[in-house]
Amino acid sequence: NAGVTQTPKFRILKIGQSMTLQCTQDMNHNYMYWYRQDPGMGLKLIYYSVGAGITDKGEVPNGYNVSRSTTEDFPLRLELAAPSQTSVYFCASSLPGAQGGNTEAFFGQGTRLTVV
């Protein structure tokens, strides 16, 4: 199984450029997430989605946008890239849990983004 697939793996952007990080999962998971991980730091939630057509902000949404037109895909859009967005970005997905929460998450391999 492919699981969660992210593209590209690496990217260098110039300040002010825009790009879309792609994420697709083949596990029919309802929930999908975007996290960023800065060097030596933990994970910060950017956006999440509980199903197609539904998205919501996480802890650090500024400078990013998402859409969820299908269950499988959850792209993350960076508009006007800034050096502060240099980070490793992880997409993840999960199923709902029995009590209305979620179960374990499956992660992609990450996209390493540098803004110069």
Partner 1 sequence: GNSVTQMEGPVTLSEEAFLTINCTYTATGYPSLFWYVQYPGEGLQLLLKATKADDKGSNKGFEATYRKETTSFHLEKGSVQVSDSAVYFCALPSINDYKLSFGAGTTVTVRA
- Contact residues toward partner 1 (CB under 8 A) are 4, 31, 33, 40-43, 45, 48, 50, 58, 90, 92, 94, 96-97, 99-110
Amino acid type, 30: N
Q: What is the DSSP string of 30-89?
A: SEEEEEEE-TT--EEEEEEEEETTEEEE-S--TTEEE--SSSSB--EEE-S--GGG-EEE
Rg (Cα) of the chain, in Å, rounded? 14
Between residues 73 and 106, which has the closer beta carbon with respect to partner 1?
106
Q: How far is the CB of 81 from partner 1 (least distance, A)?
A: 22
Between residues 28 and 104, which has the closer beta carbon with respect to partner 1?
104
Between residues 35 and 78, which has the closer beta carbon with respect to partner 1?
35
Q: How far is the CB of 51 from partner 1 (least distance, A)?
A: 10
